[in-house]
Amino acid sequence: MGNDPEVLVIGAGFAGLYTIHRLRGLGISVHGLEAADDVGGTWYWNRYPGARCDSESYYYCYSFSRELEQEWEWSERYPGQAEILSYLEHVADRFDLRRSFSFSTRVVAAEWDGDRWVVDTADGTRWTCRWLVTAVGCLSSANVPDIPGLESFAGTWHHTGQWPHEGVDVTGQRVGVLGTGSTGIQAIPVLAASAGHLTVFQRTANFSIPARNAPLSASEAAGYKADYPAIRAVQQASTNGHPFVVSDVDTLALPAGERRDLFERAWERGGLRFRAAVREVLTDPAVNDQASEFIRSKIRSTVRDPEVAETLLPRDHPFATKRPPIDTEYFETYNRSNVTLVDVRADPVAEITPDGVRLASGAEHGLDVLVFATGFDALSGPLLRLGIRGRDGVALTDAWAEGAATYLGLGVAGFPNLFTITGPGSPSVLTNMPTSIEQHVDWIADLVAHLRARDLDAEPTPQAQERWAEHVREAADATLLPQAASSWYLGANVPGKPRVFLPYAGGFARYREMCDAEADAGYPGFALRERRRASA
Q: Which residues contact 139 (CB under 8 A, 6 or more apart)?
A: 42, 161, 375, 376, 378, 382, 429
Give pTM, 2 decimals: 0.96
533 by Cβ neighbours in 10 Å (0-12 / 13-18 / 19+) ranks as exposed
Instruction: Report domain extents, the chain.
Output: 7-141+377-530, 143-206+325-375, 246-320
pLDDT tens digit at each of 536 positions of the chain? 679 999 999 999 999 999 999 999 999 999 999 999 999 999 999 999 999 999 999 999 999 999 999 999 999 999 999 999 999 999 999 999 999 999 999 999 999 999 999 999 999 999 999 999 999 998 777 788 899 999 999 999 999 999 999 999 999 999 999 999 999 999 999 999 999 999 999 999 999 999 999 999 999 999 999 999 999 999 999 999 999 988 888 889 999 999 999 999 999 999 999 999 888 999 999 999 999 999 999 999 999 999 999 999 999 999 999 988 999 999 999 999 999 999 999 999 999 999 999 999 999 999 999 999 998 777 788 999 999 999 999 999 999 999 999 999 999 999 999 999 999 999 999 999 999 999 999 999 999 999 999 999 999 999 999 999 999 999 999 999 999 888 878 777 778 888 888 999 999 999 999 999 999 999 999 999 998 643 33
What pLDDT is attached to residue 532?
64
For 447-452, which contacts have Cβ atoms below 8 Å and span 24 or more sequence positions?
Answer: 447/419, 447/519, 447/523, 448/6, 448/7, 448/23, 448/26, 448/28, 448/131, 448/419, 449/26, 449/28, 450/523, 451/131, 451/417, 451/528, 452/6, 452/28
Q: Tell me whether domains 7-141+377-530 and 143-206+325-375 share a fold.
A: yes
Is the CA virtual torsion 32, 79, 428, 519 positive or negative?
positive
Q: Does residue 35 sit in helix, strand or coil? A: coil
143-206+325-375 is classed CATH 3.30.1330.40: no
Phi/psi at 203 (nearest 5 deg)? -95, -40
Q: Please state, as a whole number, how many other Cβ atoms lie within 10 Å of the Cβ of residue 353.
A: 18
Phi/psi at 395 (nearest 5 deg)? -80, 145
What pLDDT is attached to residue 536?
33
Cα separation values, 389 from 386, 458, 514, Å: 9, 16, 28
Q: Regarding the domain with residue range 7-141+377-530, which homologous superfamily does it belong to in the CATH classification? A: FAD/NAD(P)-binding domain (3.50.50.60)
Q: Which residues contact 35 (CB under 8 A, 6 or more apart)?
A: 104, 105, 106, 107
Beta strands in 311-373 (DSSP E): 326-327, 339-343, 349-353, 356-359, 364-366, 369-372
Residue type for 107, please? V
- Look at residues 351, 37, 354, 299 and name the one whose alpha carbon lies nearest to residue 185: 299
What pLDDT is attached to residue 1?
60
What pLDDT is attached to residue 138?
80
What pLDDT is attached to residue 246?
86
Measure CA of the first residue to CA of the last residue in the chain; give whole Å.
32
What pLDDT is attached to residue 442?
98
One-character DSSP codes across 398-461: HHTTT----BTTTB-TT-TTEEETT-TTSSGGGS-HHHHHHHHHHHHHHHHHHHHHHTEEEEE-
User: CA 96, 100, 104 angle in degrees (round to 5)?
Assistant: 115
